[in-house]
Amino acid sequence: MAQTHQTPSGTEKEGHYHVLAVEKERIRRMSEQQSAPEQLAVGKSQGGAGATYKVVLFEFENFQGCKAEIFAECKGVTEKGLEKVGSLIVESGPWVGYDRHGFTGEQFVLEKGEYPRWDTWTNSQSSYSLLSLRPLKVDSAEHKLHLFENPKFTGRKMEIVDDDVPSLWGHGFQDRVASVKALNGTWVGYMYPGYRGQQFIFERGDFKHWNDWEAPAPQIQSVRRVRDMQWHKRGCFILPDPAPAPGPDPDPTPAPPVLPASAGTS
């Protein structure tokens, strides 16, 4: 029979009190074991504390030729023994690539996945080179972006929170974007709707003028969040699928009837 005893919080049954204490301790340990891997995974996938970065570069298309493994910023692929980059695999990231040495020129977002050809990391036909790259800073799982019509954060304003926008016009905003505030997360803007054209990277911070993101003009027509996945899995210039093989004729010509063999004479 359970006995009662006095505690600072009042009287409780001794056996019941012991069972509750053991159960609470078991739940606490289970919670710690579950939350620790989840926190570590979030930190790595979002580029936070403890994040890892790795990309494998290949000299030719379809992952052929000489290769180089990159774990940190690379000002020039020639320093890694490559004359050019024909394909690549992002094992952990994300990264941003440039078509010139020293992190200059046109920008390309490289999220986790395989890129067998140049047109899988750029949807702009103006450049197919990739000569330098660096890890992207992704400081938060949340995303918040402010777009402004004029420089220095003036004029009409559009706020985007945890969403991708394939067309600014479709959301009642014009294509003129002259200044940007990236409040949370990392974003990529595109010159044309549907995530097409030249890309512009917005890591957390203030961009008072379109020169700050190396744009030729104050024009952005679509934006999306940078995530831990590949955006264009097959590239932007997709060849049409081959025509299917012809199937059986739905109305075949009937075969002539087979006449029975004539009976032999006795």
Helix extents (H) in 46-175: none
Residues 117, 126, 79, 233: what is their CA dihedral angle, to the nearest 10 degrees?
-30
Closest CA to 76 of 130, 148, 22: 130
DSSP state of 128: -
- Per-residue pLDDT tens digits for 197-233: 999 999 999 999 999 999 999 999 999 999 866 544 4
Is-cis flag, bond preceding 94, omega within 30? yes
Residues ≥6 apart with Cβ < 8 Å to 187? 143, 145, 201, 202, 223, 224, 225, 226
Rounded CA-CA distance 184/218 in Å is 22
CATH numbers and ranges of domains, the chain: 54-135 (2.60.20.10), 144-225 (2.60.20.10)
Which of 142 and 4 is assigned the larger pLDDT?
Answer: 142
Per DSSP bridges, beta strands 113-115 and 104-110 are: unpaired
pTM > 0.85: yes or no:
no
Q: Is the dihedral of CA 135, 191, 175, 178 positive or negative?
A: positive
Closest CA to 75 of 136, 135, 132, 137: 132
Are the CB atoms for 229 and 201 separated by under 8 Å?
A: no
- Per-residue pLDDT tens digits for 61-90: 999 999 999 999 999 999 999 999 999 999
